[in-house]
Amino acid sequence: MTGPGPTDRNQPRRRIGEVGDVEVFVADEQTTHDIDADRYARLSHLVLEAEGVRGDVEMSLLFVEQDFISALNGTHMGVTGPTDVLAFPIDDHNLRAGRSPDNASRRPPKREPMADPGPLLRGDVVVFPSVAQTNAAANARSYPGHGGELIDEVDLLVVHGILHILGMDHAEDHDRRHMQAAERQHLAAFRGMTGELGG
């Protein structure tokens, strides 16, 4: 299986003659951790724009409680218990799951451009911050600026989930390297945009 090449990342992810705006809906439906919804809306917009998403496009980003993500993980992945992130590309039955391991991740099939004038629904990214908190210290320095804090790990999971709904995966080594490079690029750009120092 081949991953997207460098030129693929520059191609618009929307039909020609794009009209409208990219919309990102962020909902914090958990109460354990403080989540900056505005931060993750900005990060999502940055990734979508950098990946060539244009036009009347919608995606949602949900921060959820353990019961909710555990139910999704059981129903869609056949795994008991919570995970850190799940990605649901719209009209794609190949669910993408958390960062590691990810045995179910596959690139979605090529699709014809939509002919209707409605918004293109890219998909949903679902994040469980408590697992992110548990993994944060272990993943410190996994990209420049990841200091082992919850915010660093959630930044990474949001980017990771969005790349999954855009068709990237990490089932094969070359796909994993390509996806990790894209993650680092987007996170560095976001850190530069927000004025945060990289480590």
pLDDT tens digits, one per residue of 147-173: 999 999 999 999 999 999 999 988 899
pLDDT of residue 50: 94
For 117-141, letters b (16+ CB in 10 Å) and e give eebbbbbbbbbbbbbbbebbeebee
pLDDT of residue 1: 25
Q: How does pLDDT run across 106-136, given as a tens digit for each residue?
A: 333 344 444 444 446 679 999 999 999 999 9
**Order of strands across the sheet with 85-89?**
22-28, 57-63, 120-127, 85-89
pLDDT of residue 142: 86
Q: Sorting pLDDT into bands at 50, 70 and 90, what band is 47?
A: very high
pLDDT of residue 54: 83
Percent of the residues in the chain that have a pLDDT greater than 70, as a whole number: 73
Greatest pairwise CA separation for the chain in angstroms: 46
Q: Sorting pLDDT into bands at 50, 70 and 90, what band is 4?
A: very low
Residue extents of the structural domains in the chain? 19-102+118-194
Handedness of CA 136, 174, 167, 197 (dihedral sign): positive
Rounded mean pLDDT of 94-107?
44
* CATH number for region 19-102+118-194: 3.40.390.30
Between 131 and 195, whose confidence is greater? 131
